[in-house]
């Protein structure tokens, strides 16, 4: 008989850095579209797997000299290559023991089908049902949601990506982590280049008796700056894109920037309360893909945006704070920040015309 300890041992042997197990009853109260019990009503256990993001992948962004490693190996490789292989191997073990294994990889949300289809019967939610990964990681006892909304673990702080397997195999669950990792230092708020993490706009939720307080993330600001960086933190954006991004940073959901069309002829105009319109249509993503070759090439090659921001507030600042406190198990011989933090002035108009053509 396979035990929880067997699953944890095999998960690590197959390549996961973290493995935790949660009881399905802990999803009680979850919105129907995020309640995985609708996918496998007989499920008994959720197995969470964590894959570290190597600190060295942030080194080139810290030095301002190498931005490609983080989106390639810190995003695409984990989500699209390595984690799916580990999930498959562990799911094979579960199915060979006579139980079903429902795999949740980070990349499956790209179908964009969360709640988009028709319900097949009145008693079921619309397809696709998809569990909230960071809440699921909390349910599996692996860590907690920090104030920034990122998932934090005692081992790596914010440096991991998650994947899950739901099964009808009965497994002893891990306890929910009750000792806080996040101390509300607000470094994520101070260092986010997109001003996407508010200090005074919060929401609370309770999981297994523990109440969490996290920022109400401004996803308009976060999504754009996550991809393109800000005028101070991106070496790749033009004068025009810098103006667009700065407008979003300053105004967020109240931004008057509206995007119209896509492709090489995409343009932006001033229009009252247009943020929700371009956000829901995804036009901001199309615009950045058209205007920033670093983002476009990353999307085409790795199926991930360029992530030029490098998670400066939510990941880097948080990581440095937790490392300085000495609370993380994954330790290093040197501090992450070894030289003064660099910042750019806004790019002059037309500077990018002097660059060599993209090799892709």
Q: Is the distance from CB of 151 to CB of 158 less than 8 angstroms?
A: yes
Q: Please give the structure tokens belonging to residue 34.
A: 């995020």
Q: Is the distance from CB of 135 to CB of 206 less than 8 angstroms?
A: no
- Whether the link from the prior residue into 128 is cis, omega within 30° of 0, is yes
Q: Please give the structure tokens belonging to residue 32.
A: 């129907």
C-alpha span between 255 and 270 (Å, rounded): 9
CA-based angle 283:77:196, to the nearest 5?
Answer: 40
Q: Residues of the chain with pLDDT > 70: what percent? A: 90
C-alpha span between 48 and 136 (Å, rounded): 7
**Mean pLDDT for all residues in the chain:** 89
Which conformational region is residue 215 in: left (phi greater than 0), alpha (psi within -120 to 50 degrees), or beta?
beta
CA atoms within 13 A on the CB side of 86: 32
- Band of the pLDDT at 360, cuts 50, 70, 90? low
Rounded average pLDDT over 82-94: 98
SS3 358: coil
Global pTM reads: 0.91
Quick: pLDDT tens for 17-49: 999 999 999 999 899 999 999 999 999 999 999
Beta strand pairing status for 45-52 and 160-167? antiparallel
CB count in 10 Å sphere of residue 356: 5
Radius of gyration, CA atoms only, the chain:
21
Query: How long a stretch of residues is the chain?
Result: 360
C-alpha span between 17 and 142 (Å, rounded): 11
Does pLDDT of 267 surpass 80? no
Quick: pLDDT tens for 150-165: 999 999 999 999 999 9
Does pLDDT of 258 surpass 70? no
C-alpha span between 1 and 6 (Å, rounded): 9
Q: Which residue would you say has higher pLDDT here, 286 or 47?
A: 47
Q: The tokens 């119209």 sit on which residue?
A: 260
């Amino acid at each position: 008989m396979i035990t929880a300890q067997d699953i944890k041992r095999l998960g690590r042997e197959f390549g996961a850095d973290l493995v935790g197990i949660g009881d399905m009853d802990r999803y009680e109260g979850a919105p129907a579209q995020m309640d995985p019990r609708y996918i496998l009503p007989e499920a008994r256990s959720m197995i969470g797997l964590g894959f570290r993001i190597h600190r060295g992948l942030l080194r080139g962004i810290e030095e301002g000299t190498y931005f490609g490693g983080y989106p390639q190996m810190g995003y695409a490789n984990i989500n699209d290559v390595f984690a799916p292989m580990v999930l498959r191997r562990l799911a094979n073990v579960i199915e060979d023991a006579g139980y079903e294994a429902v795999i949740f990889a980070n990349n499956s949300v790209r179908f964009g089908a969360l709640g988009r289809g028709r319900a097949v019967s009145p008693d079921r939610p619309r397809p696709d049902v998809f569990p909230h990964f960071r809440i699921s990681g909390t349910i599996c006892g692996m860590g907690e949601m920090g104030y920034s909304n990122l998932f934090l673990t005692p081992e790596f702080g914010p440096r991991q990506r998650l994947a899950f397997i739901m099964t009808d195999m009965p497994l002893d669950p891990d306890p929910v982590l009750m000792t806080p990792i996040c101390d509300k230092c607000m470094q994520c708020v101070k260092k986010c280049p997109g001003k996407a993490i508010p200090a005074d706009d919060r929401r609370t939720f309770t999981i297994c008796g523990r109440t969490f307080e996290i920022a109400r993330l401004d996803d308009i600001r976060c999504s754009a700056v996550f991809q393109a960086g800000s005028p101070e933190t991106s070496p790749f954006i033009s004068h025009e894109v810098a103006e667009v991004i700065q407008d979003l940073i300053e105004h967020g959901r109240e931004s008057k920037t509206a995007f119209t069309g896509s492709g090489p002829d995409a343009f932006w105009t001033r229009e009252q309360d247009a943020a929700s319109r371009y956000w829901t249509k995804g036009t901001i993503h199309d615009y950045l893909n058209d205007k920033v070759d670093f983002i476009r090439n990353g999307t085409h090659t790795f199926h991930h945006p360029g992530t030029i921001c490098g998670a400066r507030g939510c990941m880097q600042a948080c990581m440095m704070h937790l490392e300085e406190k000495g609370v993380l198990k994954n330790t290093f011989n040197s501090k992450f920040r070894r030289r003064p933090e660099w910042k750019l002035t806004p790019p002059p108009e037309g500077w990018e015309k002097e660059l060599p053509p993209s090799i892709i």
